[in-house]
Chains A and B, each alone.
Chain A
Amino acid sequence: MNTRREFLKTAATGALVLGSQSTLSLAAALDQQTHGKSKVVVARDPALHDAQGQLDEKRVQALLDRAIAHYTGRDKPVEAWKHIVPVDKVIGLKTNGLGGKGISSHAVLVMAIVERLQQAGVKPGNIIIWDRNARDLQVCGLTISTDEGRVRCYGSDVAGFEETAVPCGKGAGVYLSKILTRQCDMVIGVPILKDHSGAGVTFAMKNMYGVLSRPQDLHSGGCNPGVADLNAVPVIREKVRFTIGDAMTSVYDGGPGFHPERLWQPNALIVGEDRVAIDHTAWQMLERKRAEAGLPTLEAAGRPPRYIATAADADHKLGVNNPEHINLMEI
């Protein structure tokens, strides 16, 4: 996946796949446990934050292990991870630092994932932590590194964007980050759950706006169908195959920026393969918090996340949003 010609070919046909062995491993693991439904694990630890509001590193690691163990049905973290990622490939972790310090993917979670990936056999140089730019990564608490012998961490401002647009819905094409198109074989989304002034909710699928050179082009109509169209772009559909959603801290109103007066600590991770089911689950979690705070529903506030249903429709087929088809495991 190194040349422009190869990228264009695969992006157009949707032929961007991982090694067949790893793909089958993940599918097999899921089939055994989901009974035809999309599995979503919501793992919680009420003591995740200490008295000063800081995340407890060991508890975050333990929570991640618990979430992955329940998702894969394997108790040993290393074995579980081997069924999620192809260990001989380049794995990207797409974080979200747009909200700035205080409401960005937490570095402690990202590094916990990195540790388990390495223990599972992924070479350090084959792990890329990435987002739009250096600032977005640094506000997460991450350190920039482009050393190919170590775990890398840099933004699309360094790698650049494709010069040829890829079709996206009915609108003009989009220009994608080369980190996604050329450097990663598989991407794990590590978004942070937030209220969003336009889209209603931002989490797994909306996180993909960070792979674009001009995300503002897809914001109209409450990001609907923009979010669904973008996630249906073949290279995103095929490569972004797993989500470890950071719902340890969230903002339940006034997002996507940092609003300390509306900050909330769900102390949870939302994990799964079905990005639509994950976003639906996260949306419901956000609605419950808004109701508890005496706020109107997102529908009543004029910004329901309609893109979630669009992503599940027959044109997009990105996953399921019907609760009857979601195997929700709250642990």
Chain B
Amino acid sequence: MMFRSTRWMFRTAVLGMVAVAALSGCKTKAIDPFPASGAVAGWEKTGDTRTFDAKNLYQYIDGDAEQYISAGVVTTSTADYKYQGQLEVTVDVHTMKGADGARKILETGQSKDAKTIPLGDAGIAYTQSVIFRKGPYLVRIVAYTSTPETQQALVALAHGLEAKL
């Protein structure tokens, strides 16, 4: 009797592990990609992370939401940062259903003056913004002012984010 019970428990545990593995394979892993204050030199996280799912993404980006939804956005998380107490930026992390969606958004939004940078699976930089994708994630970092150090500082923060994805 004891033997049969143990075998039943073993089978249940195995089935449970298989189920968890299968489910996690279907879903994008839940992570917090936002570096804490000080984790990247000079950068301070100045606000809470806000997260929107596809249904309420319009509350954050209104008309822009449609292109993300059609590309398969699952969630969008956003947080504000400051560099050396002065340069203010916003970081958006879009979690898509797959890498294709992230690729589509990155390529659609690219303009001629984009500079390719080695970051994640693909990355581009402008004077005041850095955008990159890694797997199903699309990250956009935007600064509100331009200084000679802006782009370098943004790339440093981008590497901090990329390491957490």
In the bound complex, do residue A261 and residue B111 qualify as a contact, i.e. CB atoms below 8 Å apart?
Answer: yes
Chain B CB within 10 A, most for which of A98, A102, A261: A261
The answer to whether A215 touches B64, judged by C-beta atoms less than 8 angstroms apart, is: no
* A209: interface (CB < 8 Å): yes
Cβ-defined partner of A261 (8 Å) among B62, B67, B88, B127: B127
Answer whether residue A198 sits at the interface, using C-beta atoms and an 8 A cutoff.
yes
Do residues B66 and A197 form an inter-chain contact, with CB atoms below 8 A?
yes
Partner of B58, one of A53, A101, A215, A254: A215
Q: Are B129 and A197 in contact (CB under 8 A)?
A: no
Partner of B62, one of A254, A256, A258, A259: A256
Q: Is the CB of B90 within 8 A of A100?
A: yes
Contact of A257 among B61, B112, B126 (CB under 8 A): B61
- Bound-complex Cα distance A258 to B89 (A): 11
Interface size on B, residues (CB 8 A): 24
Contacts of A279 in B (CB 8 A): none
Would you call A258 and B63 a contact (CB within 8 A)? no
Is the Cβ of A260 less than 8 Å from the Cβ of B143? yes
Bound-complex Cα distance A102 to B88 (A): 11
With an 8 Å Cβ cutoff, the count of chain A residues facing the other chain is 26
Chain A 87-105 residues near chain B, CB threshold 8 A: 98, 100-102
Residue in contact with A216 in the complex, picked from B58, B127, B143, CB distance below 8 Å: B58
Is A152 part of the binding interface, using a Cβ–Cβ cutoff of 8 Å? Answer: no
A residues near B51, Cβ cutoff 8 Å: none
Q: Known: A100-B90, A215-B58, A262-B111. Is A257-B64 also a contact (CB below 8 A)?
A: yes
Q: Tell whether B152 is near chain A: CB-to-CB under 8 Å.
A: no
Q: Look across to chain A and name the residue whose beta carbon is closest to the beta carbon of B88.
A: A101
B128: interface (CB < 8 Å): yes
Closest to A260 in B: B128
Closest B residue, CB atoms, query A258 = B142
Instruction: Tell which of B64, B90, B142, B146 touches A256, judged by Cβ atoms closer than 8 Å.
Output: B64
Give residues of chain B (108-165) contacting chain A, Cβ–Cβ below 8 Å.
109, 111-114, 126-129, 142-146
A198 touching B63 in the complex, CB below 8 Å, given contacts A216-B58, A261-B111, A262-B111: yes
Asked whether A202 is an interface residue with its Cβ less than 8 Å from the other chain, the reply is yes
Report A213-228 residues with CB < 8 Å from chain B CB: 215-216, 219, 223
Q: Is the CB of B145 within 8 A of A53?
A: yes
Among candidates B62, B90, B113, B144, residue contacting A215 with C-beta atoms closer than 8 Å: B62
Measured between beta carbons, the chain B residues less than 8 angstroms from A199 are 63
Are B145 and A98 in contact, with the CB atoms below 8 A? no
Chain B residues positioned under 8 Å from A198 (CB to CB): 63, 66
Are A254 and B63 within 8 A (Cβ)? no
B40 at the interface (CB under 8 A from A): no
The proximity string for B residues 49-89 relative to A, scoring 1 for CB distances below 8 Å and 0 otherwise, is 00000000010011111110000000000000000000010
The answer to whether B65 and A216 touch across the interface, beta carbons within 8 angstroms, is yes
- Most chain-B CB neighbours within 10 Å: which of A197, A209, A259? A197
Question: What are the residues of chain B within 8 A of A202 when measuring CB–CB?
Answer: 63
A200's closest neighbor in chain B, by CB?
B63
Whether, in the assembled complex, A274 has its beta carbon less than 8 Å from a beta carbon of chain B, the answer is: no
Q: How far is the CA of A257 from the CA of B58 in the complex (A)?
A: 11
Q: List 6 A-B contacts (CB under 8 A).
A: A100-B90, A101-B90, A202-B63, A216-B58, A256-B61, A261-B126
Spell out B's residues near A (CB within 8 Å): 58, 61-67, 88, 90, 109, 111-114, 126-129, 142-146
